Structure 1
Amino acid sequence: MSSVENEESLETQVIEFTKQLENADLDDTSKASILLHRATALESLNLPEKASQDARFALNLNSTLQPQVKQLLDRLNAVASNTTTSKPQDPRVASFQHHLSSLEGADIAHIRSFVSSSDFVSILTACGTVDTPPRVKSLAFMILTKLFNPAAAEKYPFTYIIEQCAACFSHCIDQGKNEAKLLAYNTLIAIFQTSMTVGSAILCQEGTIEEMMDVVEFETVPVQLAVAQVLTIASSDKSCRTQILKYAVNWLVNMAGRSKTDPQLKAAAGTALTKLKAQPNDETTTKKEDQPTESLEDTMRKMHLTNESLVDSLQQIIKSKTSDASLVLNAVEGLAYACLKPEIKDKLGKDAEFIKCLSTLALSTTNNADANSNPLLFGIGTIFSSLTMYRPVMDEQQKQMKKLRDLANAKQQAAGGPGKDEADDPRENDDAVESRIKLCVSNGAALALMVLSKNTSVNLRAVAAQTYLNLVTPQSVRGQLLQQGIVKGLLPLSRSDIVASQALAKLAITADPRIAFQGDTVLDLVRPFLELCKDANSQLRQFEGLMALTNLASIDDRVRLMIEDADGMTVFENLQLSNNDMVQRAATEMVCNMTFCDPVFERYSDPDRSQNRIRLLMILSDGEDPATRRAASGALAILANSPGACDMMLKVDKCYERIARWVDEEETVDVQHRGIEILRCLITHQKDVVSHLVEEQVDNKLIALVKKCQVQVVRSAAMEVLKLFVANGVKLQA
């Protein structure tokens, strides 16, 4: 097995163990065992921190695992020691590991003591210092995450924690030195990244932003850049936005609008503005008592800074292929927020060069273990997701609500108000989205998503799955996507993400499985597609899962046997009772397909087990929908080769009336053909049925088919059955 295949196998194991842990019925012993297995897989994936966490948690749940846990931790420590033989390990590693462990289940007194200690200041400093070793910084972030996000918030000393963090921030700022200010702002960014609540509480203290902006013009460029990055991340919080709109907008607009601004600072300011612009209009344009007299739009207009020019500058950074990681990250984040707007979505979605550069940027992270690659990939994935996202399909209630909203908007327009509903923008129509999708597919978007799909981040994988689903929606690009190897990216995702399963189902519905899914891949698709069929919240997913399985099962006996082994028939039989005609039809087609599977055929032929199944097929074969009648009669035609199935058909109420309708002159040719085959089997197995069939004029209907049907195979089959009538003493009318 290659190293890549081995890594994919290990990732699959981690996903499977994680899924098992979500089972609420697991006892502590079972959880501990699964955690230890996951820790071993994480160790092999070179993720020692996560492996250590799982191992320690397993030990807490089951103390009898101490020998195995000790062995694993010894191996992890040995690896850590071998990687640092050239220089001694940073003493903060052991200290931070100790504090991380001590926070597990710590009481309030311990937490208050910890955050008032010099060790806590050291942890904050490690987060805010640029050249902190990755291992040390990782542990520091883990400590802040655990400290700021407790399992139980009741009586938790949040206020005290915020006070201590704010005191450290103020102490650094008050020193007046550039290094101290950089440390303060970078630490605040780290706090925001681990808890938006704590970060906003510090920044929104009375006078903090106001004082920060009063002196920002006199700061060095690195400090200004740090300020801009604080404002960027804080723009996601509503209370911070109010303060930023009041005190910081002028400076941000100046930095983004000046041609001579440092490129990194210009990009950071532009990113902050795009995030502010992406907020609801009432926050950025409506004047309130505690806001400035000028709105964000007014301020930008005075500087001749438009949305388009703002996006242009960020777009050019991506197209310039600069190696400045911070600059690129800011540009990507800004564009990710900006492209939520239809006009920006349209602009970016028509720029083939930009899309290609964005795809190349994602691919360039494959050999980069830098922690910044995840935020970058998330931004890239968000842009692709926005460009390719279709307008949601509305149910009847939503359609009625939209009519009322349209009526209200029309009245607003008549009264001189805006009255515009962004959802009606033609740039959001299906044709516009499909045009953007084609350009994305032609310029490497699917290859970029491959990088996201292999990431261990749950958020990145979710973005990849949704964007894959967007890409495969137009049938016109599915062949191209298959050629680009989209299945390799989707298959690992489908094991834990139903959206990825739906994307695969769309491919499987229209593609020839023998070409699209090589080797045993078709077998790997069975369970994801069955999960779609089980999704009671989405009839579309049920339909697409059924259609995909029908296509796979039609060409491979192994698929049918695997479906049977996974209890797929129970799923299909339940969906035959769906109130959705398309789902009912697809489920019946699947049942028909599965009757070629020997175990299914035998079960459906057993009168002791399947009378109700045959009755349902008889009812569906006599329904209003032609396609459902064809599928149900097709299943009965296959089963009719069994005497037991024939016996069950004749026990169904009004069976002869139903049988006679299959050969009506007005019926579809497919149903007529299946009906004739069932008649042949019934007469062969049950000769006494002939008189009942004659009572229903079946012989005359067959004669009419022989005379009038245009399909030779149907006429020939009808003549063969008429011979059976004659052989059983029926005199045919001329």
Structure 2
Amino acid sequence: MSSNNDESVDSSASPVSNTVIEQSQSLEDRTLLLLARLMEDGQEDEDTCKDLDTLTRLLHDDSSEDNKPSESHRPLTQLIDADSVETILGYLDMRQSEVVRGHATMTTSAYLKASDKQGVDYLSDFFRSRVEKGTYDDFLVAFSVAASIFPVVPDVMATLFLSEGFVVSLGSLMRRKWKSKKVEQAALEMLNAACMNTPCREAIQKYCIEWLEEIVNNVPESHVGVSSPERHSVVEDGSIQQRIHSENVRNLAAVVLAKIQAVPSAPNAGSEERVQPATTSIEDLSDMFKKMMSTNTSQQSSIEGLAYASLQPNVKDRLASDMPFLKKLIKALGDAPAKSPLTYGALSILVNLTTYLPALSEEQQRLTQLKAYANASKSPLKPDPLNDDEHVAKRCESVFEAGTIPILVTHSQHGSTASLTLVVSIVFSLAKASKIRGHMAQQGAVKLLLHAYSIFPSEHLPARRTTAHALARILISTNPTLVFGGSTPLPLTSAIRPLLFLLADDPAVEHRDLLPVFESLLALTNLASTDDTARNPIVRLAFPQIEELLLSNNKMVTRATVELICNLMQAPTCVSKFADGSKPASHRMHILLALADAEDTETRRAAGGALASLTEWDTAVNAILERDRGLGILLSLCKEDSEELRHRGVVCILNILTAPGKVGEWGVTKVKENGGVEALKECLKKSRSQEVLEITVDALKKLLEESKTGTEVALKT
């Protein structure tokens, strides 16, 4: 293991050969040889990483039922004793390269998973013994290990972190004894990782806040400003004066302070006085992070800090109103490597700036109030006004104007599932504003969403629903012919399945949210306005769901469903669902006629439009005439005050009167018997549209001609 210590290395020791481990050796021998090689000094980082990866794979396979080696052997974890564990953990030392530390973290994770309690005991003994020794090297390694392993085994590390006397004395120990920038940095990295655990975060707030604020705030303008008695030196990493801290140390301390304040813990009874509040506000910290954004060496810390600080409503508004900052953030995101912490942090900031509060039903609001009372609150906490829809909408507009979409499109192609989930969340929030949906589509948002939907695992239901919902919002307000076809390789049919996915119930929620259903129906209606290429798959894949939604208790959902059917009725496949002469078709016709008589004007208009298309088919006319009230409902449309409704009504009547053969003859008779002449005359009086007048006149002529012909026939007889 490579080390930065000044301890001499015995040159007479011959390192184990770096040749490839022979596959002919037994599994136990290969494991022991790997451990021996890792214990040797002088290896290149590349070779060390290869050995660590091999050990990780062996441990993983040995603990997996699927990949378990066939040869008989004792568990490989039994070959790894306390010294071997110490060797592996030594590669987590912050003085090692980042790449080595990353590979060592994976190896440690595989070992702890495979070894169960034995591994936890070795890890605990290692950490405690190093802390008890209390030398420079011991603290440095112990803190480095804790920082790396906290996300791997948070419960184990939290127990060690909260052991008696450790956190209590940490701040004072760092201030009094260790004026070393590396030890201080290692300690802060450990605190940074420990903030993920609520009890640990509370302990840090209780015992370390004074030390953290001293690091952030008490920085003399120059070394001369520090009196000579306050100057100390440490040989391992150079001199450091009291209250003069390295840039990395200050940045880390600021990040920890931001985490403490951004994710406040619920106070326990009687604990309020014991927890010292921070004097450095979250706004001061966010301003500090913004200044750090322009420095490459500080960019990671600044973005991590802002990812937490931007959870606070006032910080969100300050950041979103600062366009130069937003453009710096977008540029940093564009320059960041895929799947990097920098990418995830920048995306987290954008998510915080753009996320709307969830809409709660009346029942959910009552449950929230009851929970607040149950928690002994005097009254339910009111949402911060800076988180209301109006403020979030303004922030979304600023984020969009900063040029976010093209960068998100680029990152969506190579990002991890976790980062892609954040990307989709941002696009979903931005798509709530109808006025920018067309621009989003032009900048590649539809392509992004279709790609995301295709690669999210099928079990990743929340992400898939958010993706589909974002797609629906954009396609509601966008001309499909401008998004699909032409020079665009995206087929229009690629959007249908994601939209249909929203029509099904969400198993993850107790109370069904009908907004995604409603917006999906609107988007499908838009697609169905194109041609049968879109209509036929919708009818084939989702007609049972559409039919069920016709009977929804929600007026808006019913209306949107009828509007979709109105556009689908241009396709013969949809017509046959209502006019093939079967009992189900007759039942559907009954429902459609009833909706043409609904209270909601928009629903009547859509149903009338569907019937206007449907009555072009004689089988549909026959189905209407068979129903007692069918014709009466259509004649009622002719007498409506709305010109659009009258238009649909007279088209239906003219189609019935001109139907071929006996169906048409029957239609004429029934229209007369149901007061058709009077209804059409009333339509003429109310109408101003030339088209409506012409259709009405044609229908009246047809009726009157049939009446005249009938009279002549009777006289001749």
When the two structures are superposed, what TM-score results if normalisation uses the length of structure 2?
0.78
2:601 and 2:607 mapped to 1: Cα distance? 10
Q: How does 1:461-480 map to 2 (within 5 A)?
A: 461-480=420-439
Question: SS state of the match for residue 351, structure 2?
Answer: helix
2:111 and 2:628 mapped to 1: Cα distance? 69
Question: 1:281-321 CA deviation, whole Å, 9 max, x = no partner?
Answer: 644xx7846x8x55332xx33xxx33322221112111x2x
Match of 1:532 among 482, 490, 502: 502
Task: Please name the residue that 2:314 is paired with.
Answer: 343
Task: Please name the residue that 1:604 is paired with.
Answer: 578
When the two structures are superposed, what TM-score results if normalisation uses the length of structure 1?
0.77
RMSD of aligned residue pairs (Cα, Å):
3.2
Aligned length: 613
Task: Please name the residue that 2:555 is paired with.
Answer: 581
Structure 1: stretches of 5+ with no match in the other structure: 1-83, 151-155, 413-418
Task: Please name the residue that 2:649 is paired with.
Answer: 675
Determine if contact 1:355/1:445 at 8 Å carries over to the other structure: no
Q: How does 1:253-264 map to 2 (within 5 A)?
A: 253-260=213-220, 261-264=245-248
Question: 1:428-474 CA deviation, whole Å, 9 max, x = no partner?
Answer: 22222222112111112223433542344222111111111111111
Check 1:142–1:502 CA distance in 2 against 1; reply closer, same or farther (3 A cut). same
Match of 1:122 among 48, 73, 87: 87
1:243 and 1:139 mapped to 2: Cα distance? 30
Task: Please name the residue that 1:703 is paired with.
Answer: 681
1:731 and 1:488 mapped to 2: Cα distance? 62
Question: SS state of the match for residue 586, structure 2?
Answer: helix
1:729 and 1:189 mapped to 2: Cα distance? 94
1:722 and 1:453 mapped to 2: Cα distance? 61
Task: Please name the residue that 1:277 is paired with.
Answer: 261
2:473 and 2:437 mapped to 1: Cα distance? 9
Determine if contact 2:476/2:519 at 8 Å carries over to the other structure: yes
Question: 1:177-210 CA deviation, whole Å, 9 max, x = no partner?
Answer: 4344332212111211212212212211222223
Match of 2:361 among 395, 398, 408: 395
Determine if contact 2:62/2:76 at 8 Å carries over to the other structure: no
Q: How does 1:419-498 map to 2 (within 5 A)?
A: 421-423=381-383, 425-495=384-454, 496=456, 497-498=464-465
Matched, 1:690 2:696: no
1:587 and 1:511 mapped to 2: Cα distance? 19
Task: Please name the residue that 1:713 is paired with.
Answer: 691
The CA deviation at 1:252 is: 1.0
Question: 1:199-249 CA deviation, whole Å, 9 max, x = no partner?
Answer: 212211222223433421232111111111211221221221232123211
Match of 1:208 among 160, 163, 166: 166
Matched, 1:515 2:515: no
Match of 2:617 among 633, 642, 655: 642
Determine if contact 1:502/1:541 at 8 Å carries over to the other structure: yes
Identity over the aligned pairs, expressed in percent? 26
Matched, 1:311 2:286: yes
Check 1:102–1:543 CA distance in 2 against 1; reply closer, same or farther (3 A cut). same
Q: By percentage of residues, which structure has more helix? A: 1
2:706 and 2:112 mapped to 1: Cα distance? 86
The CA deviation at 1:405 is: 9.8
Determine if contact 2:56/2:106 at 8 Å carries over to the other structure: no
Q: How does 1:274-423 map to 2 (within 5 A)?
A: 274-280=258-264, 282-283=266-267, 288=270, 295-297=275-277, 300-301=278-279, 305-318=280-293, 320=294, 322-324=295-297, 327-365=298-336, 368=337, 374-400=340-366, 421-423=381-383
Task: Please name the residue that 1:59 is paired with.
Answer: none
The CA deviation at 1:554 is: 0.8
Task: Please name the residue that 1:499 is paired with.
Answer: 466
Question: SS state of the match for residue 553, structure 2?
Answer: coil
Task: Please name the residue that 2:226 is paired with.
Answer: none
Determine if contact 1:336/1:380 at 8 Å carries over to the other structure: yes
Check 1:516–1:717 CA distance in 2 against 1; reply closer, same or farther (3 A cut). same
Task: Please name the residue that 1:68 is paired with.
Answer: none
Task: Please name the residue that 2:707 is paired with.
Answer: 729
The CA deviation at 1:142 is: 3.5
Question: 1:43-79 CA deviation, whole Å, 9 max, x = no partner?
Answer: xxxxxxxxxxxxxxxxxxxxxxxxxxxxxxxxxxxxx
1:288 and 1:148 mapped to 2: Cα distance? 38
Comparing 524-533 with 272-281, which one deviates more in the overlay?
Answer: 272-281
Question: SS state of the match for residue 534, structure 1?
Answer: coil
1:181 and 1:281 mapped to 2: Cα distance? 28
Check 1:145–1:570 CA distance in 2 against 1; reply closer, same or farther (3 A cut). farther
2:373 and 2:140 mapped to 1: Cα distance? 53
Determine if contact 1:182/1:222 at 8 Å carries over to the other structure: yes
Task: Please name the residue that 1:227 is paired with.
Answer: 187
Check 1:115–1:271 CA distance in 2 against 1; reply closer, same or farther (3 A cut). farther
| 1:533 partner amino acid | L
2:560 and 2:380 mapped to 1: Cα distance? 41
Question: SS state of the match for residue 706, structure 1?
Answer: helix
Match of 1:171 among 104, 116, 129: 129
The CA deviation at 1:352 is: 1.0
Look at both structures and tell me which one has the larger radius of gyration over its CA atoms: 2
The CA deviation at 1:114 is: 5.9
The CA deviation at 1:645 is: 1.2
1:364 and 1:323 mapped to 2: Cα distance? 11
Check 1:408–1:188 CA distance in 2 against 1; reply closer, same or farther (3 A cut). closer
1:576 and 1:149 mapped to 2: Cα distance? 52
The CA deviation at 1:407 is: 11
Determine if contact 2:59/2:110 at 8 Å carries over to the other structure: no
